[in-house]
Structure 1
Amino acid sequence: MKKKINMELKNRAPEEVTELVLDNCLCVNGEIEGLNDTFKELEFLSMANVELSSLARLPSLNKLRKLELSDNIISGGLEVLAEKCPNLTYLNLSGNKIKDLSTVEALQNLKNLKSLDLFNCEITNLEDYRESIFELLQQITYLDGFDQEDNEAPDSEEEEEEDEDGDEDEEDEEEDEAGPPAGYEEEEEDEDEDEAGSEVGEGEEEVGLSYLMKEEIQADAADEEDDDDYVDEGEEEEEEEEEGLRGEKRKRDAEDDVEDDDD
């Protein structure tokens, strides 16, 4: 067990450790070894299947909340727990040699104890076992993983996940209250710019079409003016020719008159 403790420390000081798992390492003479009061910050301790028979050498661990002692050969001496670990909330004694209620009675002094596991102990064969334990230890909520109404105890990992999910939900709500996420306004501005650009493009197209139509109208007007000029010139030429013909006719008439006079 000492060797296992040194491995679990990982170059840390005992007072820096909050969790310690010593499962499956055999202890000497059924007693705890290598643990002392320097592990004062320890909150979780697991010594499952280490052939532990006595808790007499358990150090004072005032901050210990969870203690795993399953699959050992403990048959009594549980009064040490209230003295050394007064703040325990979870205790697993399943698979030990606990046989009667008088042994469990010592746990009454663990005022903060909420969950107790005695599964696979001989005491579970007693008549009205569950009712008797709940009556004896009125501070506990769960026995062997279930409450008095047979509701299963929540898993500690699930509780942690729920807490994390709750924190995430709170963060999401805070973000929603604070306003839209970063970049939302920029996207709106980009959309506005695109709309403005499309409007400008449409305006430019309209102006261009108007300009082209105006040019066509002006060109048509110019063509009409050219046609008018051409018609005027043709009429003047015809008038000049007619005047010339009339002049020649008058000249011939005059000559005829002179000839008539001579006769």
Structure 2
Amino acid sequence: MEMKKRINLELRNKAPEEVTELVLDNCRCVNGEIEGLNDTFKELESLSMADVELSSLARLPSLNKLRKLELSNNSISGGLEVLAEKCPNLTYLNLSGNKIKDLSTVEALMEMKMMRMKMTTKLVHLKNMRKRRRKKRRMTMMMKQAQNWEREKRKWVSRT
């Protein structure tokens, strides 16, 4: 479903000025840009656009009351400075699963005056390190289980 249609469905007979929360997860945007969201959403405090194939925030409207923004699992790799000027009261931002490769991309966000962000940017390098740690932990657990199994097996054999 396209983003414009999803926005109309999510409004549920409300005026855009009355909406405080908007969930657009898993809908599709055309050309990787935001569509159908405009300045009439003045009261919007929470916006979720997870997994919508978003690659640019250039068409993000001014959302002065927006506090929570979910942008996980998209194709965003830059242009985050738009958030600093269009969403000045942002306190939570999730950018995990995007194509952000280094911290210089998010430096523009650090200049926001009122920002108390919980940013979960999973950089490619960090993500790979975490996967390796998890794999190592799993292997260690499996080895301990095998050792315990062998120990129990020896006890059982010695009893008979």
Correspondence for 2:134: none
User: 8 Å contact 1:19–1:44 — kept in the other structure?
Assistant: yes
Correspondence for 1:66: 68
Alpha-carbon displacement from aligned partner over 1:228-251 (angstroms, at most 9, x marks no partner): xxxxxxxxxxxxxxxxxxxxxxxx
TM-score, normalising length from structure 2? 0.75
Q: Secondary structure at the match of 2:75?
A: coil
Deviation, 1:82, is 0.3
Deviation, 1:125, is 5.7
Structure 1 unaligned spans of 5+: 128-263
Alignment of 1:44-55 (within 5 A): 44-55=46-57
Q: Secondary structure at the match of 2:119?
A: strand
Rounded to whole Å, the distance in 2 between the matches of 1:123 and 1:92 is: 18
Correspondence for 1:39: 41
Q: Secondary structure at the match of 2:93?
A: strand
Deviation, 1:123, is 5.5
Q: In proportion to residue count, which structure has more helix?
A: 1
Equivalenced residues, count: 126
The structure showing larger relative contact order (alpha-carbon pairs under 8 Å, at least 6 residues apart) is 2
TM-score, normalising length from structure 1? 0.46
Deviation, 1:76, is 0.2
Correspondence for 1:117: 120
Rounded to whole Å, the distance in 2 between the matches of 1:123 and 1:110 is: 26
Correspondence for 1:75: 77
User: 8 Å contact 1:20–1:46 — kept in the other structure?
Assistant: yes
> Aligned AA for 1:36?
N
Q: CA RMSD in A?
A: 1.6
Alpha-carbon displacement from aligned partner over 1:163-220 (angstroms, at most 9, x marks no partner): xxxxxxxxxxxxxxxxxxxxxxxxxxxxxxxxxxxxxxxxxxxxxxxxxxxxxxxxxx
Rounded to whole Å, the distance in 2 between the matches of 1:123 and 1:34 is: 35
Rounded to whole Å, the distance in 2 between the matches of 1:25 and 1:115 is: 25
- Within the candidate set 20, 27, 30, 2:29 is matched to 27
User: 8 Å contact 1:87–1:113 — kept in the other structure?
Assistant: no
* Structure exhibiting the larger radius of gyration computed from Cα positions: 1
- Within the candidate set 77, 95, 98, 2:97 is matched to 95
User: 8 Å contact 1:101–1:123 — kept in the other structure?
Assistant: no
Alignment of 1:156-235 (within 5 A): none
User: 8 Å contact 1:100–1:123 — kept in the other structure?
Assistant: no
Rounded to whole Å, the distance in 2 between the matches of 1:72 and 1:58 is: 15
